[in-house]
Amino acid sequence: MLHLGGLRTALFNYLLARRYGGSFILRIEDTDQKRLVPGATENIVRTLEWAGLLFDEGPGKCSVDSTTTTFFQSQRSKIYLQYAHELLNKGAAYRCFCDARRLESIRANSSSQGRAPMYDRHCLNLSQRQIDEKLRTGEPFTIRMLSANPADPASADVAGFNDIVYGNMRFRGPAGFDDAVLLKSDGLPTYHLANVVDDHLMGITHVLRGEEWLMSTPKHRTLFKAFGWTIPQYAHLPLLMNSDGSKLSKRNKDGPIQGYIDQGYLPSAVINYVALLGWHPSDSRELFTLKELEGVFSLGGLSRSKSIVSREKLDWLNRQHLRREISSPTTLPGVAAQSDY
């Protein structure tokens, strides 16, 4: 189910698209088959509709000039396979035949030495003859990216970049420069490959996402560079926190949006509240409708400070929106309809 952090990311992307004449695209990242939840896509679409965030392209909705026929990544595996082979041919990726036992041994050894687990490039050193023999016998494999060397001057534009929220970033490794798996042995891509390919094919110019992906940005920039594609601008949004300073999780009672819907909160109040979790207007104003947010949102207002989730603030905003909507004959029917949502 869509949670508070996911709604915030969707909202900021929506507002950016509306403010500057772009397209708001809903892409279903469902390549991790083990984590699929039945009904999750329907919940996301239904929740976005409840919040008023209508996407321009996505499941069941393609624009007239769009070349994208499906927005489910699990249905685009042939596309990712094509680009994975392009990387292989360019020497920007390689096949890895290591089994789970060997990979676990690498992880355990790294952990015992206090180092972050990183693949040791064992399969990078296989001869073409060895690779051909393994392929002939049907030995399963993954495809790994050949990550950049952060110390190499030629990798300066990969290791260093400007993040819209965090400013100038410089990664010196080793974190962010491991040879991540791009294509799994089941033929499905990982986030790293699928999102880079889709961002390019769908013409994404700005990527607004959670800060947990900040460390992976050098990998993604490496892939864009390997393909020869224009790298989008990145904005990583700080974590949402509980009042005790702990990270807000999807399982927290304040996490799922469905909980707010069930408790009768107005969509306008929830959207107003979520907008203020990491974004600040140019003045001291706090009360906004979605339409008003579309006119004032700017990337310059995004904050790097972590936001505290406060029910008291949401309750106050809900009262303000309720008063505003009750006093308006055009919105009063909508308030009544919410009780039946």
pLDDT of the residue at 330:
64
Q: Is the dihedral of CA 108, 113, 114, 120 positive or negative?
A: negative
% of the chain exceeding 90 in pLDDT: 76
What's the whole-model pTM score? 0.90
Amino acid at 220: H
- Quick: pLDDT tens for 261-285: 999 999 999 999 999 999 999 999 9
Q: Tell me which of 328 and 6 has the higher pLDDT.
A: 6
pLDDT of the residue at 335:
57
Name the pairing type of β-strands 160-163 and 167-170.
antiparallel
Neighbours of 292 (CB within 10 A): 14
pLDDT of the residue at 251:
66
**Over 80: is that where the pLDDT of 331 sits?**
no
Q: Tell me which of 195 and 246 has the higher pLDDT.
A: 195
pLDDT of the residue at 250:
64
**Over 90: is that where the pLDDT of 243 sits?**
no
Average pLDDT over every residue of 156-162 = 87
Average pLDDT over every residue of 179-195 = 96
**Over 50: is that where the pLDDT of 294 sits?**
yes
- Quick: pLDDT tens for 97-116: 999 999 999 999 988 988 88
- 13-17, 33-37, 327-331, range with the lowest pLDDT: 327-331
pLDDT of the residue at 142:
98
pLDDT of the residue at 132:
98
pLDDT grade, residue 65 (50/70/90)? low
**Over 60: is that where the pLDDT of 338 sits?**
no
| DSSP line for 232-246 | PEEEEEPPEE-TTSP
pLDDT grade, residue 333 (50/70/90)? low
**Over 80: is that where the pLDDT of 252 sits?**
no
pLDDT grade, residue 334 (50/70/90)? low
pLDDT grade, residue 339 (50/70/90)? very low
Q: Mean of the per-residue pLDDT values for the chain?
A: 91
pLDDT grade, residue 33 (50/70/90)? confident
Residues marked as catalytic: 250
